[in-house]
Structure 1
Amino acid sequence: MERMEFAGAGVTIVADAAGAADAPLVLFLHGGGQTRQSWGKALEVAAERGYRAVSLDLRGHGESGWSDDGAYSMPRFADDVRNVIAALGRPPVIVGASLGGLIGILIASVPSPEVRGLVLVDVAVRLETEGTREIGAFMQSAPDGFASLDDAADAVSAYLPHRTRPKDTSGLMRNLRLRENGRLHWHWDPAFTRYNPETAKLTANIFAQAAASLTVPVLLIRGGRSRVLSAEGVAEFRELVPHAEYVDVAGADHMVAGDANDSFNDAVLGFLAQHAHAAQ
């Protein structure tokens, strides 16, 4: 795995990359509160199948820079990713989960598209309020951090009860930072978790318009147990984007790649085989 750095729109964007540098490009964008390491083995599998796979830490997440003014707007995220695409030198297929998928919709909807295709992972225009509130509540639940890795693991287990709590919790350090107070804190900028209902309502309208203008190939993947993207939300999206393909991953929750990595990889690789091999 190769570590890379890019100049975003005023912040440094950190990424991992795998696969031949001149292979068809796949760009992975994680969800809010996640990092570039949230994709399980997807990068390795994509590289093995002949793709150049790149996974970013979005601004305010992981090792990437934080916004100096504490502002995290969708246009800023999109501008960061556009800078990365320009630096990579050719249009990718974007695979975006949750927040990353919304960023992908904005980028892919602008003529002429800067991407070859778009995979949306458990995200569409309509999202369920209860599910999104659960995510927000988790992200705001430990403002003072944790005394130990076990405490952090307990918090994750309470939030994701369907997953088996790992006996070895050391892997969580990839998602935590030791701050000056001597406690472990999640890897995101706390300013990212601020929620403005009016801004959210306006943003939903913008995404509906953007989705309706998509012309690139699109695959929508839903976790069958998701409380964020409902069957109704899927139906509404498919009306807006009639050409979109659709896969339901039974047994997976919102974080589909982590819950059902093999099924997720099969769906993504099938889509890439159709749409990622156009002339570079």
Structure 2
Amino acid sequence: MVNPTHASAVLSRFPVADLNLAVETRRPDGSPTLLFAHGFGQTRGAWNGAATALAAAGCRCVTFDSRGHGESDRVPGGADPHSGYHMDQFADDLQRLAAAQPEPPILVGASMGGLLGIVIAGEVRPAPFRALVLVDITPRWETAGVERILAFMQAHPDGFADYAEASEQIAAYLPQRRERKSEEQLRPLLREGADGRLRWHWDPALLAGDLVQESERYQPLLQAAAAKIDVPVLLLSGARSDVVSRTTVDEFLQLVPHAQHVELSHATHMVAGDANDAFTREVVRFVQSLDPSADRLRAGAVQP
């Protein structure tokens, strides 16, 4: 069916091991395929601007909500440390989605989505991705930046009285954004509870999983996986990010010496949201560098 919010996007349900994921496809006849994986606590909507622009440029763009996020199913008993949310589940979901595409996709992964891409591209052979675009994430990250994100996610357990209150809190968290989110923009991010209050779209049990509680123990695994990546890589970082730094970027480039790195001067960790035009232009350039025939992509469709 066609998503009424984004008329060119086809929404479907994709079955994975134990649940279904919400998946949107733009320009289903396009090529190459870009598979977008969002960050922890986000939804596929984080990619709306980029996916729309890149589809207009000629790419087939696939976005999805990770398990426990947005319109995708939640894990039953997700708060149970044994049966709840674990990194291998998210990685398996992403591999299945990649394998279902008509060609090996270029993974565009932000934060958590990028970490999953690093693990899969490093450990799985043949690699299910043609290339990686990592969006403001490296195998080792700055703890303070991640703690700031988690503090915001944990700050409103009772939700919000209305959309205006939610918009105010998001504006305080993202002061670099000039415009506040409208009610229409917030609807996909919030759910109304039986008490009439609005709460985030993600399963609260996610905060109890090892993705949060033991995340830093994954860093050696991620570094080892990064050193084995043999597909083309573009790292796009935000100059104002508090999650990656010059130090973590340099470490990554030592592990993956063939990787390209571009720093976007006006972006924070929320690169695509802060600098979508610059972000999409860099993705088009990278895609064109992979295949001379990709010159057919209409780079002019991405605003200068």
So what's the TM-score if we normalise by structure 1? 0.94
Q: Which residue does the alignment assign to 1:105?
A: 118
Report deviation, 1:33: 0.9
CA contact (8 A) 2:167 2:182 kept: no
Q: Percent of counterpart pairs with the same letter?
A: 44
CA distance in 2, matches of 1:78, 1:173: 28
Q: Which residue does the alignment assign to 2:160?
A: 146
Report deviation, 1:277: 7.4
Partner SS for 2:63: strand
CA distance in 1, matches of 2:148, 2:248: 18
Q: Which residue does the alignment assign to 1:116?
A: 130
CA distance in 1, matches of 2:155, 2:213: 23
Q: Which residue does the alignment assign to 2:265?
A: 250
CA contact (8 A) 2:33 2:103 kept: yes
Describe the shift of the 1:177–1:241 C-alpha distance in structure 2 as closer, same or farther (beyond 3 A): same
Describe the shift of the 1:94–1:179 C-alpha distance in structure 2 as closer, same or farther (beyond 3 A): same
Describe the shift of the 1:256–1:168 C-alpha distance in structure 2 as closer, same or farther (beyond 3 A): same
CA contact (8 A) 1:24 1:276 kept: no
Report deviation, 1:48: 1.5
Q: Which residue does the alignment assign to 1:185?
A: 199
Partner SS for 2:46: coil
Per-residue CA deviation, residues 89-125 of structure 1 (Å, 9 max, x unaligned), is: 4210000000010111122122211110000000001
Task: Tell me which stretches of 4 or more aligned residues in structure 1 moved more than 6 Å.
Answer: 276-279
Describe the shift of the 1:239–1:191 C-alpha distance in structure 2 as closer, same or farther (beyond 3 A): same
Q: Which residue does the alignment assign to 1:46?
A: 54
Unaligned runs of 5+ in 1: none
Pairs aligned (count) = 279
Q: Which residue does the alignment assign to 2:38?
A: 30
CA contact (8 A) 1:28 1:53 kept: yes
Report deviation, 1:38: 0.3
Partner SS for 1:134: helix
Q: Which residue does the alignment assign to 1:75?
A: 88
Describe the shift of the 1:45–1:170 C-alpha distance in structure 2 as closer, same or farther (beyond 3 A): closer
* AA matched with 1:271: F
CA contact (8 A) 1:40 1:258 kept: no
Describe the shift of the 1:193–1:203 C-alpha distance in structure 2 as closer, same or farther (beyond 3 A): same
Partner SS for 1:147: coil
CA contact (8 A) 1:7 1:84 kept: no
Per-residue CA deviation, residues 105-147 of structure 1 (Å, 9 max, x unaligned), is: 1221222111100000000011101100000001111111111
Report deviation, 1:278: 8.3
Matched, 1:268 2:283: yes
Matched, 1:86 2:94: no
CA distance in 2, matches of 1:63, 1:275: 33
Range that drifts further, 189-198 or 217-226: 189-198
Report deviation, 1:164: 2.0
CA distance in 2, matches of 1:212, 1:198: 25
Per-residue CA deviation, residues 178-217 of structure 1 (Å, 9 max, x unaligned), is: 1222111111011112365772232111101110100000
CA distance in 2, matches of 1:44, 1:212: 33
Matched, 1:61 2:69: yes
Q: Which residue does the alignment assign to 2:233?
A: 218
Report deviation, 1:276: 6.2
1:234 to 249, 253, 259: 249
Report deviation, 1:167: 7.2
Per-residue CA deviation, residues 50-108 of structure 1 (Å, 9 max, x unaligned), is: 21100010111110111123122111101111111222242100000000101111221
CA distance in 2, matches of 1:267, 1:193: 33
Partner SS for 1:39: helix
Q: Which residue does the alignment assign to 1:13?
A: 21
CA distance in 2, matches of 1:183, 1:198: 27
Range that drifts further, 165-174 or 198-207: 165-174
